[in-house]
Amino acid sequence: MLAERILKGDVRSASRLMRWIDDRDPGAIPELQALFSRTGRARIVGITGSPGTGKSTLTDTLIGAYRRQGKTVGVVAVDPTSPFTGGALLGDRIRMQDHATDPGVFIRSLATRGALGGLSRASSDVVRVLDAMGKDVILVETVGVGQDEVEIVATADVSVVVLVPGLGDEVQAQKAGIMEIADVFVVNKADREGAERVVAEIQSMLSMAAHDARRPEIVQTVAVRDEGIDALLLAIEAFRGRAEDAGLLQQRRRAQAQQLFLDTLQERLMQAVRARVLTPAESERTIARLAARELDPLGAAEDVVRRLLH
C-alpha cells in the first residue's frame, strides 16, 4: 500500500496518492482510510484572497519563517481558475523553487479537475496526506471566490484573509463571503498608497462584531520584502492560543469531523444508489419522465430510496 510507504516518509508515494486524489481516482479511498488515524497533528493555516493580492508570495515567505523555527511545512495551492492545465500555478512553482530541494517542505498544486464540491474535498484530502507525512504546519492557499473556497478555508485551524490597497471597495466587495471567516487579516502590499485606509475599513467593519476570542487581528505586510512576516506569525499563533482557550479550536475540529463524515456518507450513499438502483439507463428514464412532468422530483427520489432499502 502507498499509505505504509508514506508513513515511512516516502515522498514519491505521497506525490502519487495526491495525484490520485486530484484525479478523483477511487484507489485513493483505501489509502486515505489507512492514513486517517495518523492525522490531526498538523497546524493548518488557510490563506485566501483575490487573485494577485500576494498569497503565493506570502506563502513563500511563511515557509521560510516556519523553516527558520525548525518546523516542517506542507503547502496546498488551489487554483480553480485553471481547470484544464493548472498552468496558472506555474509562476508559483517557479517562485517556490527555493524550497523545492528542502526535504522539510512539500508543495502540491491542485489542478482541481473534479466536479462541483470536488475542490474542497480534494484539498482536505491532500491536507490529510501532508498531515500523515508529519508536516508540522500546512499552508493552504486558495483564491477567495466561491463556496468551494469558503469550505476549503473551513478546514483550517486559522484562516488568513489577504487584502491589498488600490482595489476600490475591496472590503465591502468581499464582505459577503470571505470576510466572516477571517481569523487574521493581512493588508499586503503595504508599500503602496492606501494601506492605512484598508486597515481603517476593516476596523470599522469589525467594530460592529463581537469583542471576543474570534476578533481578528490586522497585520500589514510587504511580502516581496519579507516585511511584517514575524508579526503575521505572531498573530496566527495568538489567534490559535485564544481559540484553544475559548474552546473554539475543538469546536472547529468537531465541525470538520462532522462535515467530513456527512460528505463521505453522502458520496457513499450515491455510489450505492447508482450501483443498485439508478443505473445510467434508469437514470435517463427517470429524468425524461421528470422533464415530461409525468413524475415529480420528490416522488422520483422517494422511489429510489424505497428500492434501495428493499
Ligand X SMILES: Nc1nc2c(ncn2[C@@H]2O[C@H](COP(=O)(O)OP(=O)(O)O)[C@@H](O)[C@H]2O)c(=O)[nH]1
- Contact with Mg ion (CB under 5 A): which of 56, 109, 112, 120? 56
Using the rule CB under 5 A, is 50 a contact of Mg ion? Answer: no
Q: In this complex, which beta carbon is closest to Mg ion, that of residue 57 or of residue 286?
A: 57
Binding mask 66-105 for ligand X (x = CB under 6 A): ----------------------------------------
- Contact with ligand X (CB under 6 A): which of 16, 43, 55, 135? 55
Q: Which region, judged by CB under 5 A, interacts with Mg ion, from 50-58, 60-68, 94-102, 264-272?
A: 50-58
Q: In this complex, which beta carbon is closest to Mg ion, that of residue 96 or of residue 233?
A: 96
- Contact with ligand X (CB under 6 A): which of 28, 223, 243, 249? 223
Q: How far apart are CA 42 and CA 13, in angstroms?
A: 20
DSSP 209-276: S--STTPPEEEE-BGGGTBTHHHHHHHHHHHHHHHHHTTHHHHHHHHHHHHHHHHHHHHHHHHHHHHH
Burial of 277 (0-12, 13-18, 19+ CB in 10 A): middle
Q: Which region, judged by CB under 6 A, interacts with ligand X, from 8-16, 53-61, 120-128, 271-279?
A: 53-61
C-alpha cell at 102: 528542502
Which uninterrupted H or E stretch holds 102? Answer: none
Using the rule CB under 6 A, is 27 a contact of ligand X? Answer: no
Q: Which region, judged by CB under 6 A, interacts with ligand X, from 23-31, 55-63, 112-120, 148-156?
A: 55-63
Using the rule CB under 6 A, is 52 a contact of ligand X? Answer: yes
Q: Which region, judged by CB under 6 A, interacts with ligand X, from 52-60, 113-121, 127-135, 165-173?
A: 52-60
Phi-psi region of 24 (alpha: psi -120 to 50; beta: other; left: phi over 0): left
Task: Give me the least distance between CB of 156 and Mg ion, in Å please.
Answer: 16
Are 43 and 137 within 8 A, CB to CB?
Answer: yes
Are 197 and 32 within 8 A, CB to CB?
Answer: no
Binding mask 158-197 for ligand X (x = CB under 6 A): ------------------------------xx-xx-----
Task: Give me the least distance between CB of 50 and ligand X, in Å please.
Answer: 7
At 41 the three-state DSSP class reads coil
Q: Which region, judged by CB under 6 A, interacts with ligand X, from 47-55, 130-138, 200-208, 252-260?
A: 47-55
Using the rule CB under 6 A, is 51 a contact of ligand X? Answer: yes
Q: How far apart are CA 201 and CA 246, in angstroms?
A: 27
Choose from Mg ion, ligand X, none: what does 263 bind? Cβ within 5-8 Å by kind: none
Cβ neighbour number for residue 121 with a 10 Å cutoff: 22
Q: How far apart are CA 78 and CA 256, in angstroms?
A: 19
Task: Give me the least distance between CB of 92 and Mg ion, in Å please.
Answer: 5
C-alpha cell at 166: 488600490
Using the rule CB under 6 A, is 136 a contact of ligand X? Answer: no
C-alpha cell at 114: 473534479
Task: Give me the least distance between CB of 152 and ligand X, in Å please.
Answer: 15
Q: Which residue is nearest to Mg ion (CB)?
A: 56
Checking 276-284 for CB contacts under 8 A at 24+ apart, the result is 276/307, 276/308, 277/304, 277/307, 277/308, 278/304
Q: Which residues bind ligand X (CB under 6 A)?
A: 49, 51-57, 188-189, 191-192, 222-224
Q: Which residues bind Mg ion (CB under 5 A)?
A: 55-56
